[in-house]
Amino acid sequence: MTRVAVVTGGSAGLGRATVRELAARGWDVAVLARGQEGVDAAVAEVEATGRRGLALVADVSDRDAVEAAADRVEQELGPIDLWVNGVMVGVFGKFLDTAPEDFERALNVTYLGFVNGTRAALSRMVPRGQGHVVQVGSALGFRGIPLQAAYCGAKHAIVGFTESVVSELLEQGSKVKVSRVDMPALNTIQFGWVKSKLPHHPQPVAPIYQPEVGARAIAAVAERPRRRTWVGESTVYTILGNRISGHFADWYAAKTLVSGQQAPDKDGLELQDNLYEPVPGDHGAHGVFDESAHAWSPQTWWVEHRRMGNGIIGAAIGAVGAVALVAGRRR
């Protein structure tokens, strides 16, 4: 069976890990990003698995370019079954220290890029009555933190946008699925590419996970659609903690997350700003925090093996019930 996926931002970071994971599971994958070398390298990895790949060079903030890319996918690979919106660019720094044009650029890519991708996907999927869009969200779409106002604002906007689209599809009785997979901090190249006003090298908020953790969750949701999925224990704690006490979350973020997003020990590493133009070359999936990143978590195992986990719980409950019944009869 041929299954065709599009991954935006698929040349590096989480997107690159997602491309690899989908290809390993038997998907044909079109890789959409701005840098030619990155998309070519990602497509070569897809083809090495025996699947078909397609390199697409486009800026997702350009709606016409995204539509043209979607047309190419359907002409060369076939109807799009899965569209993963995962592209982002970032600016690190306090809001008033960030140039307005840089802030707007980050929003145009990270939020409107999702809007453009979703429109391109749904305009083809809805008439066919099938397909699946996966939005790569973030814990920061529910809890804003200092130094990342543009990114947090974009991820919050994606939540509201996606909920609106889902409700419209439900009202229409459409069989097209839209899922959101919310990520924790990941060890991706993002933290070497952001435009930064910080005195020290940017870093993810601990705990940090490897991008493959997120990629496996995306692939699991692609194959067994769920409307919302949280990835990593820290995402669960962040979202629930903010719901329980937003005031405490404000205080905690103010006290810990300015220094917590800076890595003085990485100050010798060069930052390459990709806000307006792609960084040349092939950069793979991982950033510079391999030594502190987790490759696995119990919560993400559950996301990937939900049926098995539910079966284990059911069996355990059944065993406890049987023991209680026997014990009751012996009395």
What is 186-217 written as a DSSP string? E--THHHHSEE--SSEE-PPSSEE-HHHHHHH
197 is catalytic: no
Catalytic annotation, pick one of 111, 155, 195, 209? 155
Task: Quote the CA–CA distance of 91 and 275 in Å, as a whole number.
Answer: 8
Task: Quote the CA–CA distance of 288 and 265 in Å, as a whole number.
Answer: 11
The amino acid occupying position 310 is N
* Per-residue confidence in pLDDT tens, the chain, 331 aa: 789 999 999 999 999 999 999 999 999 999 999 999 999 999 999 999 999 999 999 999 999 999 999 999 999 999 999 999 999 999 999 999 999 999 999 999 999 999 999 999 999 999 999 999 999 999 999 999 999 999 999 999 999 999 999 999 999 999 999 999 999 999 999 999 999 999 999 999 999 999 999 999 999 999 999 999 999 999 999 999 999 999 999 999 999 999 999 999 999 998 999 999 999 999 999 999 999 999 988 887 877 876 654 554 454 455 445 555 555 556 6
Q: What is the per-residue pLDDT for 315?
A: 45
Q: What is the per-residue pLDDT for 307?
A: 64
C-alpha distances (whole Å) from 285 to each of 125, 149, 209, 290 are 29, 24, 12, 11
Task: Quote the CA–CA distance of 134 and 112 in Å, as a whole number.
Answer: 15
Alpha helices in 56-111 (DSSP H): 63-76, 100-110
155 is catalytic: yes
Task: Quote the CA–CA distance of 188 and 176 in Å, as a whole number.
Answer: 30
Q: What is the per-residue pLDDT for 270?
A: 87
Burial (CB count within 10 angstroms: exposed 0-12, middle 13-18, buried 19+), residue 241? middle
Catalytic annotation, pick one of 111, 151, 177, 209? 151
Q: Which residue, among 132, 201, 181, 159, has the nearest Cα to 17 in the 3D structure?
A: 181
Q: Of how many residues is the chain composed?
A: 331
